[in-house]
Chain A
Amino acid sequence: MNAQNQILVALAVASAGSLGFIAAYALRAGSHYEGLAFAVSAAALSYAAAVWARLLPVERVTDPIESYPSPREERQQSSLELETDLAAVTRYKVLRRWLSVAISLFAVSVVVPLRSLGPAPGRALFGTKWRRGDRIAREDGSLIRVNDMNVDSTLTVFPEHAVGDAQSQAVLIRLPVELTPQTGGYIAYSRLCTHAGCPVALYRASVKQLFCPCHQSAFDVTNDGAVVAGPADHALPRLPIAIGEDGFVHATGDFPEPVGPGFWERG
């Protein structure tokens, strides 16, 4: 087929594709048909343009590069002029100094309103909502009694008055009772990875390790949350818990150190 006929066919296909797209859209045929028709139309147009480009007479142009650098005299003259002009403005030494002071302060005052964007960090990252005596609740707010969990199972938990609080999220694990006899086998850690703040959502009961799915840090549950592997640089904070006389698991205080990833003021 010669080039003109190829273009003709391609343009016919492109038109059919566009009509097809309009029809698919009108009939709510869904993204597959809409996309197919549209892509066919565009591809056929592209083919037509590419063949058309080959039909055009071959033409060669050669442009000289002459826009840079400027002729020597022009360069000399204008750079000198610029220097002289600037010198005329800035020759008053004291004024020049004050000018830079004023401009700097002006620049600072322009960015000062950025302070409105957020509160001062203060102690916000140093504590969570856990308080002494808070009973431990599931995501749905229900409380946990001592017999609710099987050995080697885990739960995502919150203080009963702050269910869903990102910073306070903790993982409650029931270990074989001989590992933590004081709390009936229960142990709780912050659920925020100390590396980049992802939830340490995986628990491997066989090795008693919590595992972060984001960057694969692993923490030893039986050794105070110490880092066993991965890029995390410090242990998972442990939530102090006890079993009340009423049988509810509760916290005996907040985490002893800031939870989540490190930051400059953390010390």
Chain B
Amino acid sequence: MIRRLFLWLDDRLGTAHAVRTALHKAFPDHWSFMLGEINLYAFVVLVATGTFLALFFDPNAAQSPYDGPYRMLAGAHVSHAFASTMALSFEVRGGLLIRQVHHWTALVFVCGIIVHMGRVFFTGAFRKPRELNWVVGVTLCVVGLLAGFTGYSLPDDLLSGIGLRIADSVALSVPLIGTWASFLLLGGPFPTTQMLPRLFVLHVYLVPLTIAALIALHLAILWRQKHSQFPGPGRTERNVAGSPMVPQYAAKSLALFVAVVAVVVALGAFVQINPIWLWGPYEPWRALVPAQPDWYVGWLDGALRLGPPLALHLFGHTVPSPFWPAVLMPLFLFGVILLWPWIEGWITADQAYHQLLDRPRDVPARTAFGVAVLTFAGGLTLAGSGDVQARYLHQSIVVITHFYQVFCLVGPLVAFVVTYAFAGELRRLERHPQVQRVELHRNVEGGYDEDAIA
């Protein structure tokens, strides 16, 4: 059957050779090469669940009294967006499960992207010739964040409305074009009736289309360049060794796909996420205490909390304080990450092809830099829940904020030094047994003499 299809195709397209090569493409066996696939499969789940949700969700901002089965909100003035999300959760059969699976998968998707980026960064897989795919990957990360944010802003609940209000204030803080950008994006001063329909178009059309295109590009470049690999017997800078795609690797990958599905469905079934009926509908004069965004936005929220109360007044114009932590800092951070292959190439004056990967300990400066960046982002993320910590630690929020301000400035430096030293120590530890290696010589009696190798 398969054979007949194969021959049928070859009769018409002459694909026998190409398909054969493709099916036997070498995939490296190291587990870390499968991290990126988690995101691919998460995206598949997101498109499937998202399509289902989009068939029921209504982004209309028009208000009417809520009369669904959740009696605690009976009569509350809610938008169609909120009401249709409520209906998805309480009335559509299987709707709550699919909604929660969708939201959980989004969290896994962004998390997976960052872990995968970490693998590529710490092993030096971004070096020549893979700079291009690094840029595509970092762009995917940014668009992935946008996908998440536009998604959780849609239900028009209190948490999402506050998030949009903050995002609009950040847009307003951009010099010169900020006010215009805000008005064009929202169709007027916040809040507007057009903002949800527009976010909906972004979230279900423009953003996923961009992600799909970038994934296609990411994989096409990967296919053309082939995988990188860790050093080992028979592995060189001009080859790649591993299992053939079909059937060995395909079986593993299939196992991973259904494992991802199992995890996100289990999370969606048992761990409640974004219960908008507890937050209530968005009304611009209400606030949620405490309010934390989805985890991947936490670093920006934390940065806003830690930023200096510093507005710049020049020539009758204002650059308000959110600009520094929420626009300039992320631009700088992602700029450095995006350009890292060239920054590192410039520092090390390295123009060679790299098929073989580094172990993180073998390039201590890069590893230390990566850990410093993660420490910085981690500190910001933790600062994003400073108010909750203040409550549980019985500390003033001012103390907590000052702590994280110091942490985000000093922590990365400490992390750099410690990681650098730790990498060196790891290498020393494994160099030790090498001293005891010996060279064997056959002697005249037929036995062996040993000479230690220095």
Write the residues of chain A forming the contact surface with B, with a CB cutoff of 8 angstroms: 25, 28, 30-32, 34-36, 38-40, 42-43, 45-50, 52-53, 56, 58-68, 114-115, 117-121, 124-125, 139, 156, 164, 166-167, 169, 191, 195-199, 201-202, 213-217, 227, 229-234, 260-267
Contact = CB atoms under 8 A, between A and B. Distances in A.
Interface residues of B, number: 97
B188 A118 contact: yes
Q: Which of B129, B174, B251, B301: most chain A Cβ within 10 A?
A: B251
Given A61-B24, A262-B173, A124 B188 contact: yes
Contacts of A121: 179-180, 182-183, 189
12 contacts: A42-B258, A62-B241, A118-B185, A118-B186, A196-B170, A214-B301, A216-B387, A216-B397, A229-B398, A261-B169, A267-B316, A267-B317
Contact of B239 (A58, A64, A267): A64
B387 A213 contact: yes
B287 A120 contact: no
Given A63-B240, A115-B184, A263-B318, A198 B401 contact: no
A231 B309 contact: yes
Given A25-B94, A118-B184, A264 B175 contact: yes
Given A28-B93, A34-B269, A50 B252 contact: yes
B26 A63 contact: yes
Contacts of B261: 39, 42, 46
A232 B321 contact: yes
Interface string B150-192: 0000000000001001101110111111111011111111110
A230 B24 CA distance: 59
Nearest to A55: B251
A39 to B, nearest CB: 4
Contact of B255 (A53, A61, A64, A156): A53
Contacts of A35: 97, 101, 265-266, 268-270
B166 A68 contact: no
Contacts of B14: none
Given A28-B93, A213-B291, A215-B305, A169 B285 contact: yes
B339 interface: no
Contacts of A124: 183, 188-189
B258 A67 contact: no
Contacts of A120: 180, 183
A54 B92 CA distance: 41
Interface stretch (B203-211, B242-250, B373-381, B429-437): B242-250
Contacts of B187: 117-119
B242 A61 contact: yes
Given A35-B266, A50-B255, A265 B179 contact: yes
Contacts of A265: 179, 317-318
A36 B386 CA distance: 35
Contacts of A68: 129, 224-225
Contacts of A65: 225-226, 238-240, 355
A260 B173 CA distance: 12
Interface string B255-278: 111110111011011100000000
Given A39-B266, A263-B178, A264-B318, A202 B289 contact: yes
A90 to B, nearest CB: 27
A53 B265 contact: no
Most chain B C-beta atoms within 10 Å of own C-beta, residue among A42, A43, A264: A264
A264 B323 CA distance: 11
B447 interface: no
A199 B241 CA distance: 59
Contacts of B313: 267
A213 B305 CA distance: 11
Nearest to B27: A61
Nearest to A202: B289
A75 to B, nearest CB: 14
Given A58-B248, A59-B243, 7 more contacts: A49-B251, A50-B251, A63-B239, A64-B239, A117-B184, A124-B188, A214-B166
A125 B211 CA distance: 35
Given A35-B270, A62-B234, A46 B256 contact: yes
